Chain A
Amino acid sequence: KQEVTQIPAALSVPEGENLVLNCSFTDSAIYNLQWFRQDPGKGLTSLLLIQSSQREQTSGRLNASLDKSSGRSTLYIAASQPGDSATYLCAVGGSARQLTFGSGTQLTVLP
């Protein structure tokens, strides 16, 4: 059974810092990996999706990497802003399309 772990559970940084969120998974036989953002009381917004054959994906100030063999992914956020404050969720996709979620990292960017 796939297990997904996100460290740290919470992170507080001053505005402008570059930061890295970590995600690890136990079964390397994945189809894809998705990073989501969740604002309090809201739904999930997809940020980046990396296929199992890819090493990284970029969107604006966000960069996600994937190392399948070691069971790790990172989400890099450049020049953080207060508007980036949210919970970031990592989800691993299996071949049957099911997503297994981590417990999330709650990010606070201080102005």
Chain B
Amino acid sequence: DAGVIQSPRHEVTEMGQEVTLRCKPISGHDYLFWYRQTMMRGLELLIYFNNNVPIDDSGMPEDRFSAKMPNASFSTLKIQPSEPRDSAVYFCASSPHRGSYEQYFGPGTRLTVT
């Protein structure tokens, strides 16, 4: 398996623009997680899905952030409008339904908003 795939790997955009981050989980994994990593706050869970349904979005910072999972192999995290304080590395992770609940992380998307 190719592991969790994220795109783009790097994104530079101007304040006010819409940004869409993409994630393909490991095939067969029922859980998908979006995290954000910053120097100030470390790694924080934003939202997670089970069987394509959002379970907990309490970590989403504000209404400018939205996430969708239209099918088992694809999820998006959208920021509209983007702000400089959204600059961070965004990670996607997936986990199987059964077993140890171990989470497998993608390589991340480094977002810079100028």
User: Interface on A for B, CB 8 Å cutoff?
Assistant: 31-32, 34, 36, 41-46, 49, 51, 89, 91, 93, 96-104
Contact = CB atoms under 8 A, between A and B. Distances in A.
A103 B42 contact: yes
A30 B88 CA distance: 28
B91 A98 contact: no
Contact of B55 (A89, A96, A99, A104): A96
A100 B31 CA distance: 16
Given A43-B108, A44-B91, A97 B101 contact: yes
Interface in B37-52: 42-45, 48
Q: Which size class do B's interface residues fall under?
A: 20 to 34
Contact of A32 (B45, B100, B107): B100
A94 B66 CA distance: 24
A24 B101 CA distance: 20
B95 interface: yes
B59 to A, nearest CB: 9
A99 B55 CA distance: 14
Contacts of B101: 31-32, 93, 97
Contacts of A102: 42
A104 B44 CA distance: 13
